[in-house]
Amino acid sequence: YPIGTMSYYRPLTVNFNSLTNGSLIAGFNPSAPGTSGLPVDDAGVSIVNTFVEGYWELARANSLNSSDYNIDLTGNGFTTFPIIDATRIVSRSSSGSDWTASGTHIAAVGNTASRNNVNILTAELALADTTNCSIPVTSAISGPVSVCTGTTGTSYSVIHTPGSTYTWTVAGGSITSSQGLNFIFMDWGPTGMVGSVEVVEDNGCGLGAPVLLDVDINPVPTSSISGNIAVASGASGEIYTLAAIPGYTYTWSIVGDGTITSGQGTGSISVDWGVAGTALISVVGGNGCGSAAPEELGVDVFDIIVSAQTGNWNIPATWVGGVVPTAATSARIAAGHTVTTTATRTINNLIIDATAVLNSANFYFYINGNYTLNGEHQGSADYRVRLNGLGSTIDGTGVYNHTGILYIGTGNKIIASTADLTINDALRLNDNIRVTNYGRIALIGYWGLWGDNLGATWINAENSYLYVDGVRLMNNGGNGSLTASATGNTVVYARANNMLVETPTGNTYHNLTIAGTFTKTMQADLSITGDLTISSTLNANNFDLDLGGDWTNNGYFTEGTGTVSFNGSSDQSLSIVADPLFNNLTIDKNSGTVVLNDDVQVGNTLSLLNGNVNANGSILTLGTSTASTGTLSHFSGTILGMFERWVNTTGLSYEFPVGSAANLHEMLINFGNLTNGSIVTEFISAAPGNAGLPLTDGAGTVNNIFTEGYWSTTRQNGMASTDYNLDIIADGFTSFTIDTSTRIVERLNSASDWTVKGTHVNAVGNNVKRVNINTSTLTSEFALGDPSLCTLPDDQLISGASSVCKDATGSAYSVIDLGNTYTWTVTGGSIASGQGNSSITVDWGSTGMLGEVRMVETNVCGSGNPAVLDVSVSPLPTSIITGKTAVAENSGGEQYSVLPNVDYTYTWSITGGSVASGQDSDIITVDWGSAGVGDVTVVASNVCGAADPETLPVSIYDVIVSAQTGNWNVGTTWVGGVVPGTANSAVIDDGHTVTVTSNDDITNITINATATLNTQGFIFNIYGDYNLNGIHSSTTSDRVRLYGLDTYIDGAGSFTGNRRLYIVAGNKVITPTANLTLSGSLRINSNLIVT
């Protein structure tokens, strides 16, 4: 695996000695791995420290499994310790686990360390050193975080540790003195920017983790202006914003017919526009250190014709100014008006206001630009309303009450994130049309949604919603393809009849809802990365289904012979009203838990590969009867709560992998005689008590019960046995030592005394055994007993602050001192003094988090139950921001929120819009500006200070279209007179030839079927999608360069000139609709994948 960082190649090689086929994901994490669990013994050698430069990650996928593999890790650039023969590889299952020495050490060769027979997978792996010393933990850097350009003699320092040396590096300035000491003096440079100061401490044991301090060198550059770059003449209240910096003043100016009505001096202004034409907005940001360079934004102010009254389209009196809209103009049907067409009509942009009606009757109505429907569109006859135009937008919250099918004839379309449209008929896409849905669309017509050929594509983007109440959804009954894998998007099958479930691109949905009535039938294996909701019937049709989110079945699931796999990265819930049966059920989770809200039954195979199942008061059952007991395949993971198995065979060890969230406490039952039926087992994490003790068991005695918990068994469905053997795996039991004297004891229920039944067998490791148990009912509780004649410590409560500020020192925590030993552990801080005593002081760390103070009291008998105190180390990290990530330009009232914490203030800032309401609270509404890339940022604070900012990127999308043949850099070549820049997207329209006369950049580019782009011999960088339906001519190889991560190449055109097209960066996908001809060749840069 050729992985690493921007600076260092740090490959990983794995060689499997045992393997269940699948796929394996590898990565390198440049974070310090920590030393949890160290020192650890490795065949007589003590492993003490990990290298701080980072660690490797391995994640199983697609059912891969291995319990025996060899690993090689190459630590290029690792300097914490020298890499020598003794350098070890340590492993752990996750970042919350202790490091272990799984496998056998192999001497390192050069910078490559090796280990054989590792048995942990999924795993994290790190390089480790055997030197018996402690690497340094460096304090935070002290010094100013905001300076002016050219500032000299600035000092930065860390707390000095005697014997350590310090290596400093600076970005944006230069060190003038004291390199090697715990402090430096430096001069800042002449360029405004975000600089940094970094230090690495060396104490002779090794190098500590780098400590970094970001420094604003003022004045920093002004961000780009966000706002509407194409506005109607006479528009008012248009908002233009930038990413404002606290303490800065912003001076705005406008060239053209526009007036700043509010916000001068701030990061957001409101503008009223006048007559049509071109305009330029400019802003200069500055503070006490001076002014930054101006930032500018061009704006096209266009004409729009507004209805004056109800009337026919062709009557001048219907329109303000008496001008009837034509194909070259844009129109708005104002609120309360009904406009009726009496002949075929063509319009550029069309807006139908709320409470307005357009009745296009049975005439053709062509819309060549944006279609915004907030009111009602009436009419009749199929395909009479035709949406054309390249890259145009569909928006609004109205209703299409036309009784004919809506037809998208030409040009790819974007459905804005603000759209919430109901189309009371079907929607048809012409050949090769691509519709990208960011909003909510409900299709109620009989035929649903389909394309005219396989190249027609519907893409559900992030957080979008598609509701189909018709017989077709793209290729199921029609043509085309559906892409529905984006985060947060939902597809609903809502027909009150049978439907086929479309197989989307990559067989992947995010959220899938099976609604309506009758049966919806799968056509292939499906992966659902979000939630599955069933309210009618889903027939899996013997296919497999992978689920990353929640399963909610309020209807019926026909499981067939397929497998349902839960593989999400967070908790997943499983809710079932009436149909609990799965055929095969697989749990394969690298993190999180499957939580049952109702009983679940598995008829064939239950595979526990990774991750826990929390039965949550319900029952997980394997098997359906004594004739069909099912199969358990258990590799890793634990069932928390009740697990039922049907049993019908003697002499076979039935495995019950129950336990707690922290440990597997498995029970194995082997029946000597058996009346077939089922048995329910559960591990209960509560102290079992000592009722009935002491007990005599042959030559041994039981004077105490282990306090970690006990096992409950209940027979069901006629099951009985009077002779069975019992094995209990007691991982994590520490209240006493597990040894050959450890006994399994039994009682009828929690009100009964403990007894001994059957014959004791010496424990092997943590496996405690008993044979020939003769309890007639096998409805019993079991626990572990110890011969120690003593009393464990009673439970205690920890006294101390449950809420502290980060970096607080000397916080005191204590329990009652009974003369015992007290072992403390702290999460989120470090113990400054008192370890082993009944009171400690804690220095809390620099990271806000939910921390913990834990104490285990030990006396001569053993260890009592842990005492735990949760501690909020403030300010706590802010939750992720919830809200739309793709919005229409000039949309208002969009809500964004975070999870609130008590007594916190939330300060919001917006790039590309403004906060409309809710500032200082956990919920705000935002009014967005013009097309571009925006974001929502929030800083949460309380009396302890401010948490790190949390940011949500937001896309505000637009496109610039050619107006005529001409040079790229000439304004009249483009609609609106705006020349596309790097951050823009452009379309070369049919019949136009656009010629590039200098090196240029663009984000997305589309060249229509009869259009030509001539980039001559100049460099032309494309950072997004490349859609070539016409001709792209280049006279020099490698000058047309494709960048961008996971972007698309599409079209049916030609790249001419007999030159080479160059894919420089980012993996690429050539779409199924592409049919491209390159007269030259194609060059792919190193390590890229083109699919």
Written as one letter, the residue type at 53 is E
Nearest Cα residue to 60 out of 117, 4, 123, 131: 123
| 928 and 1054 both lie in a single domain | no
Q: What is the mean pLDDT of residues 685-697?
A: 92
Q: Are 90 and 41 members of one domain?
A: yes
Q: Is 886 a residue whose pLDDT tops 80?
A: no
Give the model's pLDDT for residue 285. 94
Locate tokens 């010393």: which residue?
133
pLDDT category of residue 885 using cuts at 50, 70 and 90: low
Task: Report how far residue 376's alpha carbon sits from residue 340's, in angstroms, rounded to the nearest whole number.
Answer: 12
**pLDDT tens figures, 1040-1086:** 999 877 678 888 999 998 889 999 887 788 877 789 999 999 999 87
Query: pTM score, two decimals?
Result: 0.59
Residues 911 and 923 in one domain: yes
For residue 946, the domain's CATH number is 2.60.40
The domain boundary, picked from 218, 239, 265, lies at: 218
958 and 392 Cβ atoms separated by less than 8 Å = no
Question: Quick check: 831 pLDDT over 90?
Answer: yes
pLDDT number for residue 94: 80
pLDDT score at 16 = 97
The 10s digit of each residue's pLDDT in 621-678 is: 999 999 999 999 998 899 999 999 999 999 999 999 999 988 999 999 999 999 999 9
End position of a domain, from candidates 273, 302, 331: 302
Distance CA 944, CA 905 (A): 11
Residue 555: the pLDDT is 86
Q: Is residue 941 situated within a structural domain?
A: yes
On whether residue 770 sits in a domain, the answer given is yes
- Tell me, yes or no, whether 706 lies in a domain: yes
Residues whose CB falls within 8 Å of the CB of residue 696, separated by 6 or more in sequence, listed in order:
none
Residue 722 and residue 661 share a domain: yes
Q: Residue 976: what pLDDT?
A: 80
Is the domain of 211 the same as that of 254? no
Reported confidence tier of residue 778, pLDDT bands at 50, 70, 90: low
Classify residue 728 as exposed, middle or buried by CB count within 10 Å of its CB (0-12, 13-18, 19+): buried
Domain span at 167: 146-218
Q: Are 870 and 891 contained in the same domain?
A: no
pLDDT tens string 980-1011:
877 677 889 999 999 999 999 888 888 999 99
Percentage of the chain beyond pLDDT 90 is 69
What are 42-90's pLDDT values in tens digits?
Answer: 999 999 999 999 999 998 877 788 999 999 999 999 988 999 999 999 9
Question: What's the total number of domains in the chain?
Answer: 7
- Beta carbons within 8 Å of 827's beta carbon, 6+ residues apart: 849, 851, 852, 854
Query: Which CATH number fits the domain that encloses residue 211?
Result: 2.60.40.10
Query: Which residues does 156 contact at the CB level (< 8 Å), separation at least 6?
Result: 141, 142, 143, 168, 183, 184, 186, 197, 199, 213
Confidence of residue 932 (pLDDT cuts 50, 70, 90): low
Phi, psi of 1020 (to 5 degrees): -130, 105
pLDDT of residue 887: 64
Question: What is the maximum alpha-carbon separation in the chain?
Answer: 110
Nearest to 341 by CA among 303, 367, 320, 374: 367
**pLDDT band at 957, cuts 50/70/90?**
low
Residue 500 in domain = no
Q: Are residues 659 and 779 in the same domain?
A: yes
Using one digit for the tens of pLDDT, what is the confidence trace for 401-411?
998 999 999 99
Judged against a pLDDT cut of 60, whether residue 888 lies above it is answered with: no
Q: 850 and 768, same structural domain?
A: no
- Do 971 and 1074 belong to one domain? yes
Same-domain pairing of 101 and 52: yes
pLDDT at 293 over 80: yes
Strand pairing report for 867-874 and 849-858: antiparallel
Question: How does DSSP assign 403-459, residue by residue?
Answer: SS-EEE-SS-EEE-TT-EEEESS-EEE-TT-EEEE-SEEEE-STTEEEESSTT-EEE
Give which of 345, 342, 344, 336 is closest to 310, Cα–Cα.
336
DSSP 789: -
Percent of the chain with pLDDT strictly greater than 70: 98
Q: Among the three residues 933, 956, 979, which one is the final residue of a domain in this structure? A: 956
Asked whether residue 660 is assigned to any structural domain, the reply reads yes
Any domain includes 478: no
Q: In this predicted model, what pLDDT tens digit does every residue of 783-829 receive, in sequence order?
A: 999 998 888 888 899 999 999 999 999 999 999 999 999 999 999 99
Of residues 313 and 554, more confidently modeled: 313
Structure tokens at 1039: 């000058």
Mean pLDDT across the stretch 889-914?
87
Q: Are residues 929 and 988 in the same domain?
A: no
pLDDT at 735 over 70: yes
The structure tokens 């302890």 sit at: 944
As a whole number, the mean pLDDT across the chain is 91
> Are 940 and 842 part of one and the same domain?
no
Q: Is 30 part of a structural domain of the chain?
A: yes
Taking the C-alpha atoms of residue 792 and residue 967, their distance in angstroms, rounded to an integer, is: 87
Q: Do the domain assignments include residue 27? A: yes
Closest to 891 (Cα-Cα) out of 802, 958, 818, 966? 958
